[in-house]
Structure 1
Amino acid sequence: MVVDVEKEAATDGGTHQQSRPIIFDDAEIDKMGRIRPEVFRNVWVEIGFCICILTSSIVAEFLISGFNVLLPVVIEDLQIDPSKRTWPANVFALVTGALLLPFGRLADMYGGYVVFLFGLTWMAVWSLIGGFSINFIMLVMCRALQGIGAAAFLPAGIMLLGSVYRPGPRKNVVFSFYGACAPFGFFFGICLAGLSGQYLTWGWFFWIGTILLGVVVVGSVFLVPNDRKSPQDIVMDWWGLGSSFAALILLVYAFTDSAHYGWKSPQILVTLILGIGLFAGFLYIEAKVAIQPLLPLSLFQLKYMKSLVFCLFLSYGSFGIYLFYASFYMETVLHISPLLSAGWFAPLAITGIVIGTLGGFVLHRLTGTVMLAISTIGFLISSLLFALTPDHPSYWAWILPAMICASIGIDITFNISNIFITSNVPADQQGLAGALINVLLFVGMSIWLGIADYAVSTDAHLGLKVSYNVGFYLAVAIAGLALLLVLGRIRIGKAKSDLTVAERDELEQELLRRRNAGVSKPPK
């Protein structure tokens, strides 16, 4: 492809003279996708920037996944009623998922730098306080307030990456490493949770997180580009914020607690109906009422976007079910210790690092459709292996391949979706892009895990192994549906060097101007 855009400048006499043509050919576009962004004065500043963004993602996953391992110790120490034991774990994801879109809008209004630093600092403060929790209420409040921090810095982090790096191999490498942060953070979290619960006090789990967040805050002040700006023409969609927040809280609660109270119980039925009604109201507000919608429906006009969003919702749900029940299966069915269980999860992190290292050199060679197909097959095989695991399985034959396949699934899915979405939305919607990506992750995992929990509890009388297998087979089914969706409805090309959205828009406007002026099209 050769793009030759000739800009004309008007002279005082009313005549026009041609300025120097701006020429983009394949070699030049490829070069722009490989070089260091101009915002970094040297490669060390760029590496420091990437470390700050990647570490923030690791800490978020650390505080989510690790806490599930620590929960039995916390329940015993604080004497929490068994009927309330899921709340300290679920409230974090509940609040985070519900506030991602508003914070994505704030990032677009004020810049990713401000929102990123706010989120990190806020979470550090409440992680520090959370380690001193003396009762159930204090713990739940601290976990909920931690979720506000994650809702701020997660979309802001993706916004910063997406706005700094233009489409090309360099962006692929960075997002590949970012995708590896989820399994690495999970492994890091369960390891430190096991160590804290067994050799220290459980409060140290939060305080270690506080220390990590403090280091990232200090580093980010000096290494993250300051893109602070005034809102100008961008405003908050308050009606969309209120309706989406309430809808997501109610829906996730209904699906999460349906296994404990049953779908016919008043609190589940009422919250489900209200949640559906508010979500329908949110869609109406975004389509008909809001001047600047929190989630503009025009975003879904992008080719294959609707199918991709549904595919991600299924894929993240399958992965969430796998992570949750694989951990319980190993400890309660195979009767291994929490520390050994953490060791068995190690391939999840190691494979993620390998994919992060190699992914940037592959994503521009294979189409996104092929990569998504590979990832959904990874999700399918990982859960299927656990479902078919014999009573006394060999780790090398059953568990290890399952962990590798799960890592392949989540890393590739996260990479492809991040690159595709951030490369196809304009600069003033990068916060929205980061929010949407994380909403699909948090809400997809929460809702499908709630459905799986209900299915597993229904067959609990058949024994742990059989009931857990119900959850694994559900994960296989939705991963299979995601695979069919990829093969039948999604066609994403290679993640190669390309023009940015702004450059493509400028080119289209210039071509339109030339056609209207009767000027021939640029050569190709």
Structure 2
Amino acid sequence: MTATGTARPTKPRTGAEVSPGRTLAVVAVVQFMVSLDLSVVNVALPRIGTGLGFGALGLTWVVNAYALAFGGLLLLGGKAADRYGRKRVLMLGLGLFGLASLFGGFAQNPGQLVAARVVQGIGAAALAPAALALLTATFPTGRARVRAFGVWSATNAAGGAFGVLVGGVLTQYAGWRWVVFVNVPMAAGALALAWRGVPADRPAARGGRPDVLGAMLATTGLSLTVFGVVRTDRYAWSSPVTVTTLAVAAVLLAAFLRVERSTTREPLIRLGLFANRSVAGANAYNLLVGAAMSSAFYFMSLYLQRVLGAGPARTGLDFLPFALGVVAGSVLAVKLGYRFTPRTLLIAGAALTATGFAWFGLISPGGAFVTDVLGPSIVASVGFGLCLGPVVSTATAGVAPREAGTAAGLLNSSRQIGASLGLASLGTAAQQRTGGSVAPEALNRGYALGLTLGAALLAAAVLIALTVLRPAGPKPSAAATQGAEPAGQAGPVGR
């Protein structure tokens, strides 16, 4: 033992010296920041549009620019985390995210803000899979895994709850720029926590160089797809402009698949990973849920402010029940995770959320808060909370350690790609339903259609869970599961 008063030599922190609790805290803070950014921006959209001169559909690019960069580069971010180390990539992403937020807050025109959102997406594409891979590696099995994913999903929801409230207050009383600036101190704080709270891991994979070409093909192809869909307000689906844009997008995405099969570099994603039905089913489910949820926040934010005439601060308060309901659903998912398989929770969660969205689809120009907002918010949010932890656990279970970052990146990518494509498609459908009118009655018709289509997407997610994910086998006895993972929660469901 060291004598009292004797100085101990300073040692670098290793994985053995950093407690799992500290790692969980860092991952939770990172997820809180990413979730807060999404909800803050949604509440501020009308003021951003007015302040910088965005058009009706151009405003969707404040969301889509971030989602496309995030979703398109997440696989590359996951691969980088596996190759270069999760802590290193996490800290790089946090620094980039913070700097882009600072630049976006000073934007003077739509192009500058969209560019900042793209860089934010690039930073998020690095930090999100690295953080999730840290979580899956730190809590590989057992009850601790269920609790860890419960904390992760509850923090995700808490970021949304805090974001809609603070975003509304900041937008109304300090200006929309502060909803972008708020990320700067959060990113700095997360960097400080990660420096001390994340072990300096050794890369799990050291193959060839990452497939940057594949990442560029995927991102460009997806961007052109969204661009082609959004532009259908000016060019019909059958017009040469739309057909050509979507055809080029299809060629680029096909080239991406070919490159992944034949590249001499480290593939962005091993296509054989999709042979795991858990991975394939969870990502298809996640894409549909992402498409529905992103569109719902967008439509409800505009409905509250442009149809019901609520200010940003009031809109933030009106969103609060939804965000808190997600927290409640996430906590409930942890408790139910010891009794039911993730597949069961995914089916129940998506069905409940679809019911809430169908109720949202009944909004009216003279709607009341209790019937048009509060009621459907509670139903949809609890259902969504039930989905969050189980879909992550399902999509990352049974994956080899060397592919943990890739699997995490794939899951985040499916959510963001779904969000971007869903908002482009449903936003265009809503815009066409309004006929270009800005009258509250016309806007209400468009938003109601978008929300109803979101319910249809969630119904499709239920079908994915029913048909692609296999039911778990019979549960072992309590004695046999002492110290083991809860049935279906962390195991490789449906492989």
TM-score interval, smaller chain: 0.7 to 0.9
State the SS of the aligned residue for 2:269. Answer: coil
SS at match of 2:309: coil
Does residue 487 (structure 1) correspond to residue 447 (structure 2)? The answer is no
Identify if the C-alpha distance between structure 1 residues 201 and 41 changes in structure 2 by more than 3 Å, giving closer, same or farther: same
| Cα distance in 2 for residues equivalent to 1:488 and 1:77 | 47
The aligned residue for residue 478 of structure 1 is 457
Structure 2 counterpart of 1:327: 301
Code of the aligned partner of 2:465:
V
Q: Is 1:337 matched with 2:311?
A: yes
Compute the displacement of 1:128 (Å). Answer: 1.8
Q: Give yes or no for contact 1:121–1:213 (8 Å, CA) kept in 2.
A: yes
Q: 1:4 maps to what in 2?
A: none
Q: 1:353 to 1:480 in 2, by over 3 A?
A: closer
Question: 1 CA distance for matches of 2:285 and 2:249?
Answer: 22
Q: 1:477 offset after TM fit, Å?
A: 1.5
The alpha carbon displacement at 1:299 in A equals 0.6
Unaligned segments of structure 2, at least 5 residues: 1-13, 436-440, 476-480
User: Quick one: distance in 2 between partners of 1:361 and 1:80?
Assistant: 45
Deviation of the 1:325 alpha carbon: 1.4
CA contact (8 A) 2:154 2:331 kept: no
Report the AA paired with residue 338 of structure 2. Answer: H
Letter in 1 for 2:293: F
Deviation string for 1:390-449 (max 9, x for gaps)? 555453444223222322333332211211122211111111011111111111111122
CA 1:386/1:53 → structure 2, altered by over 3 Å: closer, same or farther?
A: same
Number of the residue aligned with 1:464: 443
Q: Does the C-alpha gap of structure 1 residues 354 and 76 become closer, same or farther in structure 2, counting only changes over 3 Å?
A: closer
Contact 1:180 1:352 in 2 (8 A): yes
| 8 A Cα contact 1:70 1:202, kept in partner | yes
Unpaired segments of 5 or more residues in structure 1?
1-37, 506-524
Tell me: CA distance 1:78–1:488, structure 2 relative to 1, closer, same or farther (3 Å). Answer: closer
Structure 1 CA distance, aligned partners of 2:313 and 2:160?
Answer: 14
Which residue matches 1:375? 349
> Which residue type is aligned with residue 453 of structure 2?
L
1:153: Cα distance to partner? 0.4
In the alignment, the residues of structure 2 paired with residue 201 and residue 403 of structure 1 have an alpha-carbon distance, to the nearest angstrom, of 27
2:412 to 419, 438, 444: 438
Which one of the candidate residues 198, 203, 207 is aligned to 1:224? 198
Cα deviation for residue 269 of structure 1 reads: 3.0
Task: Name the aligned partner's letter for residue 210 of structure 1.
Answer: V
Q: 1:207 to 1:314 in 2, by over 3 A?
A: closer
What TM-score does the superposition give when structure 1 sets the normalisation length? 0.81
Q: Does 1:413 align with 2:392?
A: no
1:114 equivalent among 88, 91, 95: 88
For 1:6-25, list aligned pairs within 5 A. Answer: none
- On the 8 A contact 1:100/1:151 being kept in 2, the answer is yes
- Root-mean-square deviation (Å): 2.7
Q: Give the letter for the 1:225 counterpart.
A: P
> Counterpart of 1:147?
121
Match of 1:193 in 2: 167
Relative to structure 1, the CA distance from residue 492 to residue 317 in structure 2 (aligned partners, 3 Å threshold; closer, same or farther) is farther
Matched, 1:249 2:228: no
1:347 matched to 2:321? The reply is yes
- Is the CA contact (8 Å cut-off) linking 2:224 and 2:245 kept in structure 1? yes
The structure-2 alpha-carbon separation of the partners of 1:321 and 1:87, relative to structure 1 and needing over 3 Å to count, comes to closer
Give the counterpart letter for 2:86 in structure 1.
Answer: G
1:311-335 deviations in Å (ceiling 9; x for gaps): 2222222222222212222223333
* Cα pair distance change 1:49/1:333, threshold 3 Å: same
Q: Percent identity?
A: 26
Query: Relative to structure 2, which stretch is displaced further, 375-384 or 455-464?
Result: 455-464
Change in 2 beyond 3 A, CA 1:113/1:492 = farther
Q: Distance in 2 between matches of 1:151 and 1:230?
A: 19
* Contact 1:173–1:356 (CA under 8 A) maintained in structure 2: no
Residues 1:81 and 1:374: Cα distance change in structure 2 (over 3 Å): closer
Give a deviation string over 1:105-151, Cα, whole Å, max 9, x none: 10110111111110001111121222222333332222221111111
With over 3 angstroms needed to count, the CA separation of the structure-2 counterparts of 1:167 and 1:382, relative to structure 1, is same
Cα 1:498–1:336 change in 2 (3 A) is same
Q: Which deviates more, 282-291 or 337-346?
A: 282-291
Deviations 1:164-219 (A, max 9, x none): 11122211111122223343323322323322222113332222210111111101
* Number of corresponding residues: 462
Deviation at 1:41, TM superposition (A): 4.9
Determine if contact 1:131/1:207 at 8 Å carries over to the other structure: yes
- Write the letter of the residue equivalent to 2:149: F
* Equivalent runs, 1:86-235 vs 2, <5 Å: 86-229=60-203, 232-235=206-209
Letter in 2 for 1:384: A
Kindly name which structure, 1 or 2, has the bigger radius of gyration based on alpha carbons: 1
SS of match in other structure, 1:459: helix
Question: What is the TM-score of this pair, normalised by structure 2?
Answer: 0.85
Contact kept, 8 Å, 2:106 with 2:177, in 1: the verdict is yes
Moved more, 276-285 or 432-441: 276-285
**For 1:72-130, what per-residue CA distance to the aligned partner results, in whole angstroms no more than 9, with x for missing partners?**
33344444566744433321112111111111110110111111110001111121222
Q: Deviations over 1:314-369 (max 9, x none)?
A: 22222222222122222233332222221121122222323333432321310122
Cα distance in 2 for partners of 1:393, 1:201 equals 28
Is residue 278 of structure 1 aligned with residue 252 of structure 2? yes
The change in CA–CA distance for 1:407 and 1:87 in structure 2 (over 3 A counts) is: same
What's 1:27 paired with? Answer: none
Higher mean C-alpha deviation, range 261-270 or range 456-465: 261-270
Give the match for residue 23 of structure 1: none
Q: Deviations over 1:252-280 (max 9, x none)?
A: 32234434544345553332111111111
1:109 and 1:234 in contact (8 A); partners too: no
Question: In 2 relative to 1, CA 308–142 (structure 1 residues): closer, same or farther, beyond 3 Å?
Answer: closer
Equivalent of 2:402, from 428, 438, 441?
428
CA contact (8 A) 2:57 2:230 kept: no
Are the aligned partners of 1:257 and 1:450 in contact in 2 as well (CA < 8 Å)? Answer: no
- Which residue of structure 2 lines up, in the alignment, with residue 28 of structure 1? none
Query: Residue 47 of structure 2 aligns with which residue?
Result: 73
- Aligned mates of 1:168, 1:259 — CA distance in 2: 51
Q: Deviations over 1:43-66 (max 9, x none)?
A: xx5443323212212222322332
Residue aligned with 2:209, SS: coil
List per-residue Cα deviations over 1:461-493 (Å, max 9, x = no partner): 472222222112211222122222322332253
More off after superposition, 352-361 vs 159-168: 352-361
Whichever residue aligns with residue 187 of structure 2, its letter is L
8 Å CA contact 1:257–1:268 kept in 2: the answer is: yes
